Amino acid sequence: MPSSASREITYREAVREAMVGAMRNDPEVFLMGEDVGVYGGAFGVSRGMVEEFGEDRVVDTPISEAGYVGLCTGAALMGMRPIAELQFSDFITHCMDQLVNQAAKIRYMFGGEGSVPMVVRTPGGAGTGAAAQHSQSLEAWFVHVPGLKVVMPSTPYDAKGLLLSAIDDQNTVLFYEHKLLYNRKEEVPDEPYRVPIGEARVSREGEDVTIATAGLMHHYALEAADALSGKGVEAEVVDLRTLSPMDHGSIARSVEKTGRLVVVEEDVKTAGWGAEVISRIVEGESFYALDRAPARVAAADVPIPYNRSLETYIRPTPEKVVDAVQSLLDARVGVYA
């Protein structure tokens, strides 16, 4: 961390600060999306930016994700550094072809002659009562696509540092925010700094169980770890920060110490990215460090319900994490439910 001054700001402000800093620094950086201009973005992330940079660099679009993500892909190919904002990550289905068949493939197919240094920022996740079409966690889809990077910072500090790294990156980076993280506050340095893509962070040390997680779930995991500590169980929490490329080495090192692994993810359990985490651990040498079958805490395999009680019921919660860890220590795991 630089030695310069810092102050407490929100996750929303940290994201904005990274964009503003990059745009002041590099005229090729611009922001594009629905309502990002005068309205300041659906979640207020870009508030004030159109006033500073004008409508040429903070560009409001029609409801046309395929169109403007395609536009940004082209701009990136031509050497610009576009940031596309998708109002809800659920809408990413509209620009799947641009992302999966174009942005992810171009650098490879042109033998490195062209590249797509684009950032696609978008809030995912549930917990806001926004129902099945505005609450999904679809990040695992993109973990599955070589050529894309997927980051999912959980703190204001990481949000600023990772966004600056994403803007610098020569590849397309999906930058997952979370609606429930925007108001979370933390000390963040004034100066620009980079958090490297692809490096996990141990945010809490413990001897008894490793909890691997990312995004909003990182905070649930920390809450669970505090509750577990009161029961005599010390959990080590690993915040992945980047889902692709995945830093399984950090998790493996932790599992070597604890012998137990619980993954906490907000996406649905089946074929979620937690499955990838566990696969990497059991495929490698770290398999032999496992003293219990690994476990996952994830959303149920259902559309997110509108009803708040049902939504809570199917989502991961800190209590479910505590239960999962205790079940694992009691050796009652291994049941697919």
Partner 1 sequence: MATELKVPTLGMDMEEATIVRWLVEEGAEVKKGDPILEIDTDKTSFEIEAPADGAIRAIRGEEGETLPVGATLAYVTAPGEEIPEQEAPANAAAEQEAATRREVPQSQPAPADSENGRKVRASPAARRAAAQMGVSIEDVAGSGPHGRVYLSDVLEMEFAAPPEEPAGIDAPRREPLSRIRRLGAERTARSFSEVPHFYLTRDLEADRLVELVERLGTRMDPAPSLTELLVLAVSRTLKSHPRLNGRYVDGELEVHDDVNVRVAVATDEGLVVPVLLKADALTLRELVPGVKDLVQRARDHRLAPEELSGGTFTISNLGMMGIDSFDAIINTPEAAILAVGRVRTVPEWRNGEWVPRRVISVTLSVDHRVADGADGARFLQDLQDALLDWELLL
C-alpha radius of gyration, the chain, whole number: 20
The verdict on whether 248 is a catalytic residue reads no
Start-to-end CA span in the chain (Å): 42
Nearer to partner 1 among residue 126 and residue 235 (C-beta): 235
Binding mask of the shown chain, residues 294 to 333, with x at each position contacting partner 1 by CB under 8 A: -------------------------------------xxx
Shortest approach of partner 1 to residue 316 CB, angstroms?
A: 20
Stretch that binds partner 1, among 173-181, 207-215, 237-245, 283-291 (CB under 8 A): 283-291
**Alpha-carbon distance 13 to 10, whole Å?**
5
Residues in Cβ contact with 130 at an 8 Å cutoff, skipping those fewer than 6 apart? 88, 179, 304
Residues in Cβ contact with 3 at an 8 Å cutoff, skipping those fewer than 6 apart? none
Shortest approach of partner 1 to residue 334 CB, angstroms?
A: 4
What is the separation of C-alpha 85 from the centre of its chain, rounded to a whole number of angstroms? 14
Q: Does position 335 bind partner 1 by CB under 8 A? A: yes
Nearer to partner 1 among residue 64 and residue 270 (C-beta): 270
Bridge pairing between strands 119-124 and 81-85: parallel
**Alpha-carbon distance 166 to 120, whole Å?**
9
Tell which one of 42, 96, 290, 300 touches partner 1 (CB under 8 A).
290
Tell which one of 293, 300, 314, 323 touches partner 1 (CB under 8 A).
293
Shortest approach of partner 1 to residue 207 CB, angstroms?
A: 13
Of the candidates 65, 85, 236, 311, the residue annotated as catalytic is: 65
Nearer to partner 1 among residue 118 and residue 289 (C-beta): 289
Shortest approach of partner 1 to residue 327 CB, angstroms?
A: 10
Q: Does position 336 bind partner 1 by CB under 8 A? A: yes
Which residue, 260, 264, 279, is CA-closest to 213? 264
Cα torsion angle, 179, 182, 186, 187, sign: positive
84 with 33: CB under 8 angstroms? Answer: yes
| Structure token digits, residue 185 | 């506050």
The Cβ-side half-sphere exposure at 228, using a 13 Å CA radius, reads: 31
Binding mask of the shown chain, residues 20 to 59, with x at each position contacting partner 1 by CB under 8 A: ----------------------------------------
Nearer to partner 1 among residue 160 and residue 292 (C-beta): 292
Nearer to partner 1 among residue 161 and residue 274 (C-beta): 274
**Alpha-carbon distance 147 to 271, whole Å?**
19
**Alpha-carbon distance 282 to 263, whole Å?**
13
Tell which one of 38, 288, 310, 313 touches partner 1 (CB under 8 A).
288
Of the candidates 13, 34, 134, 248, the residue annotated as catalytic is: 134
| Structure token digits, residue 50 | 């159109």
Tell which one of 60, 168, 291, 323 touches partner 1 (CB under 8 A).
291
**Alpha-carbon distance 143 to 250, whole Å?**
18
Residues in Cβ contact with 221 at an 8 Å cutoff, skipping those fewer than 6 apart? 211, 213, 235, 237, 264, 318, 321
Nearer to partner 1 among residue 58 and residue 252 (C-beta): 252
Nearer to partner 1 among residue 57 and residue 320 (C-beta): 320
Tell which one of 108, 110, 287, 313 touches partner 1 (CB under 8 A).
287
Stretch that binds partner 1, among 149-157, 166-174, 212-220, 290-298 (CB under 8 A): 290-298
| Structure token digits, residue 210 | 């490793």
Tell which one of 292, 297, 305, 322 touches partner 1 (CB under 8 A).
292
The verdict on whether 52 is a catalytic residue reads no
Catalytic sites, residue numbers? 65, 134
Give the binding site for partner 1 (CB under 8 A): 259, 282, 287-293, 331-336
